[in-house]
């Protein structure tokens, strides 16, 4: 739909940016931090590990002051479970609790709304050795951890994100590295893990509302609309298959409190249905979120399954590059979109479509918690970092958000990935996203100097005028 005039961004719109603990903090063994699966898993050889990362742990004041200069209204970061608790010895780590108090207080002192992700892939390794999320007892450990967060920070933090990209955890289990054994969980195990994570999420949402804390809480999922490759009805069915299994099935359980019908039949047909206890349906139904957070990078184009052994692509896939699944869908190319240097589809209009579909389905406010352009950055001789491709990417996506607002979608914030350069899980510091350049390479820490990119100044002006010119 085309309008005579686009709606303005709301005056209280949360212009922000995001990081995660394991990709930014570093200090992986300092001040009582326990090992997480990130610390122990096998990662891509030859790229930066997560021991120092962007060293946000030691630079947080400088970084948050830069965020103030940038004009950010909000800053999304995750809390590392392994800084808060030593589960093996049943101890709370006061130094870790103090660190996040300092981060939150610095944000508040600078007029920045802290937005906290409770879990961003970094399960304590002690729990992994006990079976991880496959072990139902992990749910109770997670709730114990969240009780500490609510007690310590509940009066300071107004927006909480439960689980980051649960669908990535389940559908792309190697996304954060391989276990030391080299063996990923089976599909049956993955959907049991999924069930346990859904229960944990529902329990903490219910707890938050039960405590009558002042803010809002919701899930954060990697979401994208799916296009059918042609006008073939079979392609339409395949696109609906994958859009449902990849996205709606996770959100239906989180928002509606029950499994999606198509998802249930898919699991039953393939012998993947998880073990469910008698009280589980009541638990799922008890945790109604206040909003939905989404990480959006690209769309996908889907063709009908041939179901002849050729549906799964031989190319490398990740959470944004579709692989295909036998009997469900096969990936197709879209001639109407661009791609990043790393093969991710660039589709701003797809963001508008995704927002419309999401709002139409659940009628809940939406917070965009990731969206960004990953590419190498070059520092000129004069120290200038001209990342015009990133500016173009963000500008087109912000226009798409404004179009969605004009459509009537309730979007209340935009948090591009990332505030500063962080360790890209597979490409290290070769693939950068930040408004602020962290001067290090995969092999040389240098001085970790912070440098403003051209996108920093562009976004600064955009926030000052509350949207595009």
Catalytic residue ranges = 165, 370
Output the CA torsion sign for 50, 65, 372, 413. positive
Q: How far apart are CA 200 and CA 219, in angstroms?
A: 11
Given a contact cutoff of 8 angstroms between Cβ atoms, the answer to whether 93 and 84 are in contact is yes
Strands of 330-332's sheet, edge to edge? 226-228, 300-303, 330-332
Closest to 18 in 3D by CA, of 436, 390, 457: 436
Provide the phi-psi class of 88: left if phi over 0, else alpha when psi is between -120 and 50, else beta: alpha
> What interhelical angle do 56-70 and 454-464 show, nearest 10?
50
DSSP state for residue 124 in the 8-state scheme: B
DSSP code string of 353-366: HHHHHHHHHH---E
Residue 14's DSSP bridge partners are: 413
Beta strands per DSSP E along 382-424? 411-414
Q: How far apart are CA 280 and CA 196, in angstroms?
A: 9
**Cβ atoms within 10 Å, residue 443:** 10
Closest to 344 in 3D by CA, of 382, 367, 370, 373: 373
Output the CA torsion sign for 251, 160, 196, 96. positive
110 contact partners, CB below 8 Å, separation of at least 6: 64, 65, 67, 68
> What interhelical angle do 348-362 and 388-407 show, nearest 10?
30
Beta strands per DSSP E along 133-215? 159-164
């Amino acid at each position: 739909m085309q309008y005579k005039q686009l709606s303005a961004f709301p005056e209280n719109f949360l212009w922000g940016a995001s990081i995660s603990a394991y990709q930014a903090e570093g200090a992986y063994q300092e001040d009582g931090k326990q090992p997480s699966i990130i610390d122990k898993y096998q990662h891509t050889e030859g790229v930066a590990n997560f021991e120092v990362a962007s060293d946000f742990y030691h630079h947080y004041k400088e970084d948050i002051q830069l965020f103030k200069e940038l004009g950010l209204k909000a800053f999304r970061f995750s809390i590392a479970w392994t800084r808060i608790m030593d589960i093996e010895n049943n101890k709370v780590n006061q130094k870790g609790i103090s660190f996040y108090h300092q981060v939150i207080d610095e944000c508040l002192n600078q007029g920045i709304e802290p937005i906290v992700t409770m879990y961003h892939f970094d399960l304590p390794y002690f729990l992994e050795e006990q079976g991880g999320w496959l072990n139902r007892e992990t749910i109770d450990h997670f709730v114990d951890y969240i009780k500490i967060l609510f007690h310590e920070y509940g009066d300071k933090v107004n927006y909480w994100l439960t689980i980051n990209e649960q669908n990535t955890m389940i559908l792309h289990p190697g996304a954060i590295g391989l276990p030391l054994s080299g063996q990923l969980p089976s599909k049956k195990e993955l959907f049991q893990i999924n069930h346990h994570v859904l229960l944990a999420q529902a329990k903490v949402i219910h707890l938050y509302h039960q405590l009558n804390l002042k803010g809002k809480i919701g899930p954060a999922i990697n979401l994208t609309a799916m296009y059918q490759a042609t006008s073939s009805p079979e392609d339409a069915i395949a696109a609906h298959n994958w859009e449902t299994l990849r996205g709606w099935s996770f959100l239906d359980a989180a928002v509606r409190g029950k499994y999606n019908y198509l998802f249930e039949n898919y699991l039953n047909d393939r012998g993947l249905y998880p073990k469910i206890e008698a009280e589980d349906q009541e638990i799922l139904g008890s945790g109604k979120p206040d909003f939905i957070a989404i990480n959006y990078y690209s769309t996908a184009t889907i063709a009908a399954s041939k179901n002849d052994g050729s549906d799964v692509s031989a190319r490398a896939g990740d959470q944004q590059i579709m692989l295909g699944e036998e009997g469900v869908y096969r990936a197709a190319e879209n001639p109407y979109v661009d791609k990043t240097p790393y093969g991710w589809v660039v589709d701003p209009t797809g963001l508008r479509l995704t927002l419309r579909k999401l709002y139409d389905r659940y009628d809940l406010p939406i917070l965009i918690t990731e969206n960004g352009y990953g590419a190498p950055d070059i520092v000129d001789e004069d120290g200038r970092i001209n990342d015009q491709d990133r500016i173009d990417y963000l500008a087109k996506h912000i226009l798409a958000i404004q179009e969605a607002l004009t459509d009537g979608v309730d979007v209340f914030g935009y948090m591009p990935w990332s505030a500063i350069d962080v360790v890209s899980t597979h490409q290290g510091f070769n693939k950068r996203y930040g408004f602020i350049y962290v001067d290090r390479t995969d092999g040389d820490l240098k001085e970790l100097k912070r440098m403003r990119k051209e996108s920093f100044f562009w976004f600064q002006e955009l926030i000052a005028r509350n949207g595009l010119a």
